[in-house]
């Protein structure tokens, strides 16, 4: 399978199964329409020469055809799909990552919150240390031979229960040696309650921190409002800046400012640039996923504008590459050479298999987005239970287990999308949310185009 596209003046061809990316000329690009992938003859068939000889010199056509054949022989073009056998071997894995819902409560009322403004269709509740401790034991117990364990403090707003965050970190650290594990902590916060003490703790202990802010003041405050309706930009921006500055000298440098764009700000590249101007260089701004009836929801209709905006952003990033104003846009980061192995790419999302979420009651769910959907409950940390049948179902949710993904050119970049969105919008974890697919494919095209442009410039 190949995927070819034109963007920003480049002709790009992806060989899906080998992962090779080719920058080609127009003749090469055109000829690909006529070559028969299954029966690639050694010499250029006469009808191909005849078809194109009005546009290109015959010698060039033959020469290009020969290049196609030689790339095929090198297994870099029309390479065969033999991943099915690996997909079939994808059995359930140990649990190694956990999302700890430290607070089912929030001090903001963001309109697009998937978590029901922190309540998760339940009631406002903070996790006790007892539950947190049992969750750590549960993770260690279910992680078997895995060494690296990930624990994400999530909410609601985790800073509303920060004392328990500290206690859990302390407890988990004490378990590392006896159990031969390494914990990596991460936290996602809206920033409202950040102070010097919390910044210090986060920068010392959390290998990654996600700072939620949508970009420009008016964009952020329209959607990310407090209980009384006031916006939060002026409170959080200086705190985030302080955290980021302090982090530069710390043990961990990873962080992201992350925002959501909606129908209200389809010019979201401006928000990315704004965040960069405010001093951040690790930026993630992502499309809202919402019921189409919501006023802020993105729909099929919005795609052309959103696509154009992604292209605009990609061009700005090419211009800025190598300059002081360079920044990372999370969704355009792609490693074409040293990225993860193909096995990892077969099943991107670890939900319900190597990743679980734990609620303030100690209930275990496949991931944070399944919390509140009672049918999906998988166990409880106090009795160590874990529904193995459910786990096997998620383990089988590879790109080869999903019919649409199997035939999708982006499968090894996307790895099958979000199971929770699939469940919510199409009623089946094996059926990807179509709008998200369109957006993902556009982002991959842009990300690869950026690589191509930079390779050309070099």
Cβ neighbours, 10 Å, residue 215: 25
User: 287 to 306, contacts with another protein by CB under 8 A?
Assistant: 287-289
Residue 189: CB minimum distance to another protein, A: 12
417 counts as binding another protein under rule CB under 8 A = yes
In Å, how far are 24, 38, 74, 346, 349 from 78, measured between CA atoms? 15, 9, 10, 19, 27
DSSP run (H or E) holding 136: helix 129-142
**What tokens appear for 195 in the block?**
């102070």
Q: Choose one: 68-76, 225-233, 244-252, 371-379; the region binding another protein (CB under 8 A).
A: 68-76
Q: Which of 273, 423, 429, 447 binds another protein (CB under 8 A)?
A: 447
191 counts as binding another protein under rule CB under 8 A = no
Among 264, 222, 29, CA closest to 111:
222
Pairwise CA distance, residues 10 & 21, whole Å: 12
Interacting residue ranges for ligand SF4, rule: CB under 6 A:
340-341, 343-344, 349, 351, 355, 367, 369, 399, 402, 404-405, 408, 410-411, 414, 416-420, 432, 437, 440-441
End-to-end CA distance of the chain: 29
Q: Using CB atoms within 10 A of its CB, is residue 172 exposed (0-12), middle (13-18) or buried (19+)?
A: buried
User: 19 to 58, contacts with another protein by CB under 8 A?
Assistant: 19-25, 27-28
Q: Quick one: 83 or 233, whose CB is closer to ligand SF4?
A: 83
Q: Which of 107, 189, 220, 421 binds another protein (CB under 8 A)?
A: 421
Ramachandran quadrant class, 15 (left: phi over 0; alpha: psi -120 to 50; beta: rest): beta
The entry of ligand SF4, another protein, none that residue 198 binds, CB within 5 to 8 Å by partner kind: none
User: 153 to 172, contacts with another protein by CB under 8 A?
Assistant: 154
344 counts as binding another protein under rule CB under 8 A = yes
The entry of ligand SF4, another protein, none that residue 405 binds, CB within 5 to 8 Å by partner kind: ligand SF4
Instruction: Please tell me the count of residues contacting another protein according to CB under 8 A.
Output: 88
The entry of another protein, ligand SF4, none that residue 441 binds, CB within 5 to 8 Å by partner kind: ligand SF4
The entry of ligand SF4, another protein, none that residue 82 binds, CB within 5 to 8 Å by partner kind: another protein
Q: Choose one: 1-9, 364-372, 380-388, 400-408; the region binding another protein (CB under 8 A).
A: 364-372
User: 260 to 279, contacts with another protein by CB under 8 A?
Assistant: 260
83 counts as binding another protein under rule CB under 8 A = yes
Specify which residues 218 forms β-bridges with: none
Pairwise CA distance, residues 266 & 168, whole Å: 40
The entry of ligand SF4, another protein, none that residue 314 binds, CB within 5 to 8 Å by partner kind: none
Q: Which of 94, 117, 302, 426 binds another protein (CB under 8 A)?
A: 94
**What tokens appear for 403 in the block?**
């019919």
451 counts as binding another protein under rule CB under 8 A = yes
Rg (the chain; Cα; Å): 24
Among 422, 437, 420, 458, CA closest to 120:
420
Cα dihedral sign, 351-352-355-360 = positive
Find the DSSP H helices in 180-215: 196-205
Pairwise CA distance, residues 310 & 261, whole Å: 12
Residue 417: CB minimum distance to ligand SF4, A: 3
Find the DSSP H helices in 91-142: 129-142
Q: Quick one: 76 or 167, whose CB is closer to another protein?
A: 76
The entry of ligand SF4, another protein, none that residue 411 binds, CB within 5 to 8 Å by partner kind: ligand SF4
């Amino acid at each position: 399978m190949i995927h070819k596209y034109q963007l920003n003046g480049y002709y790009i061809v992806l060989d899906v199964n080998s992962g090779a990316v080719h920058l080609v000329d127009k003749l090469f690009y055109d000829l690909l329409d006529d070559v028969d992938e299954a029966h690639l003859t050694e010499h250029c068939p006469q009808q191909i020469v005849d078809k194109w000889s009005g546009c290109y010199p015959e010698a060039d056509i033959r020469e290009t055809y020969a290049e196609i054949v030689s790339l095929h022989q090198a297994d870099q073009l029309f390479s065969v799909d033999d991943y099915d056998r690996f997909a079939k071997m994808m059995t359930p894995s140990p649990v190694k990552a956990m999302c700890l819902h430290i607070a089912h409560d929030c001090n903001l009322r963001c309109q697009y919150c998937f978590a029901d403004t922190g309540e998760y269709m339940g009631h406002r509740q903070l996790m006790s240390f007892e539950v947190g401790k049992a969750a750590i034991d549960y993770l260690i117990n279910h992680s078997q031979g895995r060494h690296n364990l990930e624990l994400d403090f999530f909410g609601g707003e985790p800073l509303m229960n920060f004392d328990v965050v500290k206690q859990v970190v302390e407890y988990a650290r004490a378990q590392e040696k006896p159990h031969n594990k390494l914990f990596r902590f991460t936290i996602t916060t809206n920033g409202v309650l950040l102070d010097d003490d919390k910044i210090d703790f986060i920068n010392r202990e959390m290998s990654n921190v996600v700072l939620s802010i949508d970009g420009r003041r008016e964009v952020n405050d329209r959607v990310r409002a407090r209980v009384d309706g006031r916006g939060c930009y002026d409170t959080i921006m200086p705190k985030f800046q302080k955290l980021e500055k302090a982090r530069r000298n710390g043990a961990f440098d990873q962080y992201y400012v992350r925002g959501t764009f909606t129908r209200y700000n389809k010019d979201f590249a401006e928000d990315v640039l704004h965040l960069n101007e405010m001093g951040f260089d690790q930026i993630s701004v992502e499309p809202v996923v919402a019921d189409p009836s919501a006023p802020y929801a993105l729909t099929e209709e919005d795609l052309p504008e959103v696509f154009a905006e992604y292209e605009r952003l990609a061009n700005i990033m090419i211009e800025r590459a190598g300059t002081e104003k360079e920044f990372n846009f999370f969704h355009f980061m792609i490693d074409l050479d040293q990225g993860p192995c193909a096995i990892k790419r077969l099943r991107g999302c670890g939900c319900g298999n190597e990743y679980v979420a734990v609620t303030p009651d100690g209930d275990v769910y496949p991931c944070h987005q399944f919390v509140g959907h009672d049918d999906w409950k998988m166990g409880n940390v106090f009795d160590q239970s874990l529904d193995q049948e459910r786990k096997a179902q998620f383990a089988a949710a590879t790109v080869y287990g999903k019919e649409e993904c199997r035939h999708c050119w982006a499968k090894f970049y996307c790895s099958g999308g979000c199971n929770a969105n699939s469940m919510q919008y199409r009623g089946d974890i094996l059926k990807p949310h179509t709008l998200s697919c369109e957006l993902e494919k556009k982002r991959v095209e842009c990300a690869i185009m950026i690589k191509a442009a930079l390779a050309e410039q070099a």
